[in-house]
Amino acid sequence: MRCPSCGHTDSKVVDSRPSEDGTSIRRRRECLKCNRRFTTYERLGENPLVVRKSDGTSEVYRRDKILRGLYIACAKRHITPDQINSVVDDLETELRNKNYTEIQSKALGDMVLQRLRNLDEVAYIRFASVYKDFKNVDEFNQAIKGL
């Protein structure tokens, strides 16, 4: 991302959130050279990412949906909105780098879990219980033991 003021190519992200239509990410950036702040809209790849659910139905990937799940999982934990946003930023970077056009919802959930595991164990368990569709208590206990 090139700074509109001085043309410098290095900037840091100070805020990111989904656009109103959910198809792109609105980022506030700060130029590392002149400190000017500017806004970019970044699409998630050329084509929307399709998330295939276990029952065979599919839906378009939506950042706000992942964020909502994370906020629920992180409720009352010492985790800042910045940390939650960077989990999703990191996830989307990997999705973009791998050029996925379709992903199983379970695989997507696993990618979130990998990141959450490093952040907070309780949030990890909560998110896992929502997204992994634990079929029985044993599976849930296995996940806890795996921590």
Q: Which one, 34 or 60, has the nearer CB to Zn ion?
A: 34
Among the listed residues 3, 70, 73, 128, the single contact to Zn ion using CB under 5 A? 3
| 12 to 41: interface string for Zn ion, x by CB under 5 A | -------------------x-xx-x-----
CB 127 within 8 A of CB 73: yes
Taking CB under 5 A as the binding criterion, the range among 7-15, 20-28, 53-61, 90-98 that sits at the site for Zn ion is 7-15
> Is residue 50 within 8 Å of residue 61, measured between CB atoms?
yes
Q: Residue from 8, 17, 52, 106 that binds Zn ion (CB under 5 A)?
A: 8
Pairing of strands 58-60, 50-52: antiparallel
Strand partners, 40: 27
